[in-house]
Chains A and B, each alone.
Chain A
Amino acid sequence: EVQLVQSGAEVKKPGESLRISCKGSGYSFTSYWISWVRQMPGKGLEWMGRIDPSDSYTNYSPSFQGHVTISADTSISTAYLQWSSLKASDTAMYYCARHFSSLLYVFDIWGQGTMVTVSS
């Protein structure tokens, strides 16, 4: 079965760092891009950025550029989303999603989501 399994919920304080993960299985991890999508409480979906696991090339939405970093470790088929200094406004559900096809920002497989809560 093709799936993406994300790490568990996190509760952090403002200013702390965090890395969440997304492990792919059932397919060739390096053959499909992975994106991260944010969903703030009660709100819609926002594309944050993506990585090509085959060469670690990334690009980011201007709204998230410089605030998050996306990376991947192909040896364990895992993509990461990390923050160096969290803000309360980072409180949200974060999904990783597999691109249906390279160059297309259509997402056919989604992780179950990781809830990040940032509160003092």
Chain B
Amino acid sequence: EIVMTQSPATLSVSPGERATLSCRASQSVSSNLAWYQQKPGQAPRLLIYGASTRATGIPARFSGSGSGTEFTLTISSLQSEDFAVYYCQQYNNWPGTFGQGTKLEIK
């Protein structure tokens, strides 16, 4: 099973600033990597798939990059609604596995 490791566990950023979240796979997952956002009391929401393709309706301030084992989610200018927990997920190898999450909090 592929292990996904996210860093940092918690990231404190001020509104309007850029946030950079990292995700590392224990072996190559090619570009088969997705990012999800989860707000308290809500279901996860798909943000990015294919490592860099935004899902329908996702604002352009969210961008994904990387391939192989190293991936990054960047939020260019944080809005108040962006403070949440973010999960990466590989779907290259069965079963798809999630990272443990990065909590993005207001600084």
Contacts and interface: CB of A to CB of B under 8 A. Distances in A.
Interface residues of B, number: 22
A37 B43 CA distance: 10
Nearest to A107: B46
Contacts of B45: 110
Contact of A47 (B96, B100, B101): B96
Interface string A104-120: 11111011110000000
A9 interface: no
Contacts of B87: 44-45
Contacts of A90: none
Interface in B72-107: 87, 89, 91, 94-101
B55 A45 contact: no
Interface in A62-112: 62, 95, 97, 100, 104-108, 110-112
B100 A110 contact: no
B98 A106 contact: no
Contact of A106 (B34, B94, B95, B99): B34
A47 B90 CA distance: 11
Nearest to B43: A110
State the 5 A-B residue pairs at the shortest beta-carbon distance, nearest first: A105-B96, A110-B43, A105-B91, A45-B98, A61-B95
